[in-house]
Amino acid sequence: MGLDSIWHWLILLVVILLIFGTGKLTRVGSDLGNAVRGFKKAMQGDEDEEKRKAQEKLQADPPPSNTQSTQNQRDSNESK
């Protein structure tokens, strides 16, 4: 006979309310909400940091330009 009945959950809720009171449970709920928001913000910050690092890497090491092919085209035009 576990906690699978609605009556067991209601009795447990009443006992918790009697022990902690509604004020303390309200603060626990808001603290839990703030913790979840902080966690989401931290996860978003990690993704932003990875994007920023990738952008910095692209700026530091730009892809090779087509100067060699452009130079070859100039040489071929000059020889004509």
| In a domain? residue 6 | no
Residue 27 lies in a domain: yes
Cα 77-78-80 angle, rounded to 5 deg: 70
**Residue 80 DSSP class:** -
Domain tally for the chain? 1
Strand, helix or coil for residue 63: coil
In a domain, 69, yes or no: no
The residue with tokens 């906690």 is: 3
Q: Tell me: the pLDDT tens digits for 3-32?
A: 678 989 899 989 988 888 878 888 888 899
**Domain-located, residue 9:** no
- In this prediction, residue 36 has a pLDDT band, given cuts at 50, 70 and 90, of very high
Instruction: Give domain status of residue 5, yes or no.
Output: no
What per-residue string of b and e applies to 34-61 under the rule 16 or more CB within 10 Å gives b?
A: eeeeeeeeeeeeeeeeeeeeeeeeeeee
Domain that holds residue 52: 22-57
Task: Kindly state whether residue 50 falls inside one of the protein's structural domains.
Answer: yes
Q: Look at residue 34 and tell me if it is in a domain.
A: yes
pTM of the model: 0.40
Query: How far, in Å, CA of 35 to CA of 26, rounded?
Result: 14
Please check whether residue 72 lies inside any domain of the structure. Answer: no
